[in-house]
Structure 1
Amino acid sequence: MSRMSASTRRILQAATGLAITAALLLGCQAVVYVHNPDALWQIVSQSCVPSDAAGKGPGKCAKVSPDGYALLKDIRGQGQYLLIPTARVAGMESPALSQPGAPDYFLDAWENRDFVSKALDAHVPDALMSLAINSAKGRSQNQLHIHIDCMSQAMRNALSAYDDAAPGTWVDARLNNHFYRLMRVASATAKRVHPYDRVLKQAEAQGQAIGDHAIFMATAPGGFFVVDGYYQARGQNANPGSAEELQDHSCKDVGK
């Protein structure tokens, strides 16, 4: 084995120092998330659910619901939460989501949106609240999770260009310089929105795999927007399949 040069040793020492600093700043969970695609599932199944069942509270989670989901504070952003099924559900591509009587995880996520306001210690109006789930190719974790967080006023303004879209009709949209399809759903509550079912029908009609789609949900005049992002690897304005890009994890416009 050749002897390591002094300059190489200094570089490695500096890199190690940066890695340790990053771990201290972001917390050990951040490192686990990056290198372990099953991290979210392991947290929920090994910490949250067993602790709650033993009457010790929700463990690392903020909530474990008897309806089959847990809420976990995300390591990114001050207010972002993740809704995660307590059953093993890989993601958008999971057949369990399209079975009769399948849980409406989007409805569950929307009904728990106040957790974001509590984390920020500031009210997030529904007009700046959003939900997002990434495609199989646009995510880092192999357990379904819905991002519950703010969106920027700029994104709200971009969506407002489609306020007059006919309810129940898909229209082409460009958001964050990427191609999306968008539907305005006329509904007084989130109970009739059913984002997954609507995007599944859209995917099947186009002969596309549902796992290649991402979903974003936000309020619209008289209802909600369901935004469908289909993963495209190439082409100008191609979609990365990560609807999370439409959120603002800094929540910079809250309270303005």
Structure 2
Amino acid sequence: MNRLVLWNVDLTLVDVSIVTRDAYADAFRQVTGRPLVKLTQHNGRPDSEIVFETLAINGVAATDEDLPRFLDALAASFAARRKRLAKEGRALPGAKDALKAVSRLDGTVQSVLTGTIRSNAVRKLAAFGLDKYVDVEVGGYGEEVYPKATLLQVAQGRAARRHGAAFDGSNTVLVGDSARDVQAAKIAGAAMIAVATGRTLASELREEGADVVLPDLCDPARLVEAVTRLTSPARTG
């Protein structure tokens, strides 16, 4: 193994926003006994951060116990809605072919680096048959209270232990759609392929410093070329 490709999930590979919002509202009601009035924008942030802000903007003084309680409720609420994912959500155009194409690259490990908690991330991918292309054991997830750049390095360490290979900035690529994804890759020293399928414009992704910006995942050959080039020994800056 000589290459690690980490994928963001929401708005990079799938869009299940309606189900996610409903699950958050249900989890909030379970934890607080009140209806959810306001839900903060996700924008590439981890669930652990979104939970605290959601409680705050709805006038709830959070305690240390609230995060694990909320995340457990969120997992249960999402699981209860799993049959709605394929009906009300979608895999983004080209997502399956992109994952499949990258999986054919010799020596490549694919996993996820997502703000979504692990159980929900796996359900999102499985709803569209995308989970079989990634090693979910070595990813980074939203219940882990780390900045995303640190979480990327955690994922590298997990991949190294599981696959017996060294993964660092020279052979790691993050594929994501948000400015936060780009920032995390830059801080961690990894390469960044940004796709303009989320809420961040292509021009903003370039300004943040993405190595490659694609309009979507509909050209697997272009994606594979970028992954190969960015993880080659001759890669520069």
TM-score computed with the length of structure 2 as normaliser: 0.27
Give the structure with the larger helix fraction. Answer: 2
Larger radius of gyration between Structure 1 and Structure 2: 1
The one of the two structures with greater contact order (alpha-carbon pairs below 8 A, sep at least 6) is: 2
Give the structure with the larger strand fraction. Answer: 1
